[in-house]
Amino acid sequence: MNWINRYEKFMLEKLMPVDQTNSDLEHLRNVIFFKCLLYIFPFGLLVLIPGTINAIQLQQFNVIFFSALTYIIMFLITIPSKITVEIKKMIFTLVLYNLGFQLFFREEFFVLGILYWTIANISISLLYSIKTTIIISLLNAVTCILIGCLIITDQLTWFQLLKIDLSNWIIISLNMLFLNIIISILINQLIQNLQNVIYKEIETSNRLKKSVQLLQEKNEELEHMTYVASHDLQEPLRMVTSFLTQLDKKYKEQLDQRGKQYIHFAMDGASKMRNVMLEILAFSKIGMNDSQQEHIDVNELIDEVLWMNRKLIQENNSQLVIDRFPVIFGYKILLRTLFTNLISNAIKYKSSGRISIIKIAYEPENNFHVFKISDNGIGIHPDKMEQIFLLFNRGDLKNNQVQGSGIGLAICKKITVLMKGEIYVTSELHVGSIFYVKFPIEID
């Protein structure tokens, strides 16, 4: 059905632009009107051709004339012109009423005339306000009374038009008026409800946009504050470390063992604090650069990460089993940071009772890249599987021998969110863990 959509778009945007300075409801009515014209113009021939053939057989040449005239007028108001939309709508409804009356007063086309009259009433309900619809309904009632008067005075028979008695006409006209009123009320109520729904959706959408914008601003402020704090605090911390080092050098011989131990604790604490601030700084920088996507050979990227962690791998005697990976399109810096944190975590959180074995695998899934980093380490407690992706939360709360600040997995989480993906873990305590990294093949 794409050709229909293209036809609508072309005709509405190029040939018949709708004046959007009107109210939303009036704009909606105008769009409905133009779409009616779009479909009447091509599909009207499906009605006109067989109707003309039938009228020729019945020798009803007046019907042929008015049907052709109706089609021509519909075509003329469809093409662009200086005629206003309101005048076009008025011509449209008058032409429908005229065709309905022409058919109505001929016995062979009486039912068809009733149908066109009803269509004209429906069109008025769709295209005009409830006030206009009520006025037209009153005019319809007056018309029905006038036709009843013509029946009483036998004028219809004198003009050799429709032969119908008064009782039948009263039943028909009352049903027509009833249907007209019901249809008018329902359609106008439907359009009004639709407008209310649209207004509510627009209002909700605007509130949501404002909330998202406010959240983004607060998030940017928080990231900037984190960046500034972690950056600016390094200088006073460096001074503290420097003075502690000088104190240790100059007064080492004068201090007893406890004094030396205090200085050692202070310097160790300052060192750890510096590492934490550097990691917070790295976390705040994620997503701040404007790096472009590029083609990445993941095999080379993993080799770089392993080379950077070669000392850690050797110290822990870790064995790595690595798949062959494809060339993907993405952010190289973010992926390098992601794999560095996951692999170093897998190495550090090893089990002391067995050789550390780490597997890095790739399994594509529909339109997603899926990487798996598994290990046979200490595992993660079920209650901690969600918490480990938060800042300063670690899976080894009772294992103080593992060095770390609890920021690495938070960085991984932030990277996957930036890449429109996700990261999750399955784990069994004292058996091992599997981290899944999933992101779309095409990142917007």
Under DSSP, is residue 426 helix (H, G, I), strand (E, B) or coil? strand
pTM for this prediction: 0.49
pLDDT, residue 123, reads 82
Q: Which of 412, 404, 408, 399 is nearest to 351 (CA)?
A: 399
| Alpha-carbon gap, residue 396 to 348, rounded angstroms | 11
- Minimum mean pLDDT range among 39-48, 162-171, 385-394, 418-427: 39-48
pLDDT 10s digits, 27-79: 777 777 777 777 776 777 777 777 778 778 777 777 778 788 877 887 777 77
Q: Quick one: pLDDT band at residue 399, thresholds 50, 70, 90?
A: very low
Alpha-carbon gap, residue 174 to 346, rounded angstroms? 84
438 SS3 class: strand
Q: Which distant-in-sequence residues (6+ apart) come within 8 Å of 402 by Cβ?
A: 348, 349, 394, 396
User: What residues form DSSP beta bridges with 372?
Assistant: 361, 436
**What does the block give as tokens for 34?**
């133009």
H helices present in 58-84, as ranges: 61-78
Q: Give the range among 7-11, 318-322, 387-391 with minimum mean pLDDT.
A: 7-11
The structural domains of the chain, with segments of one domain joined by +, span 2-205, 234-285, 294-440
In Å, how far from its chain's centre is CA 358? Answer: 39
Cβ–Cβ under 8 Å, residues 420 and 369: no
Q: pLDDT tens for residues 115-147?
A: 888 888 888 887 887 788 888 888 888 888 888
d(CA 203, CA 206): 5
pLDDT computed for residue 299 by the predictor: 92
Tell me how crowded residue 348 is: count the other CB atoms within 10 A of its CB: 20
CATH architecture of 294-440: 2-Layer Sandwich (3.30)
Helical H segments across 153-165, by residue range: 155-158
Looking at residue 11, its pLDDT comes to 61
pLDDT in tens, 302-338: 998 898 888 888 888 899 999 899 899 888 888 888 9
Angle, alpha carbons 153-155-157 (nearest 5°): 115
Asked whether the beta carbons of 294 and 329 are under 8 A apart, the reply is: yes
Task: Give yes or no for residue 371 having a pLDDT over 90.
Answer: yes
3-state secondary structure of 439: strand
Rounded Cα distance, 349 and 380, in Å: 10
Task: Quickly tell me which residue has 């009782």 as its tokens.
Answer: 167
Count of beta carbons in the 10 Å neighbourhood of residue 315: 9
Of 59-73, 198-212, 314-328, 388-402, where does mean pLDDT reach its minimum?
388-402
Name the token pair of 204: 């909700």
One-letter amino acid identity for 211? S
d(CA 131, CA 341): 69
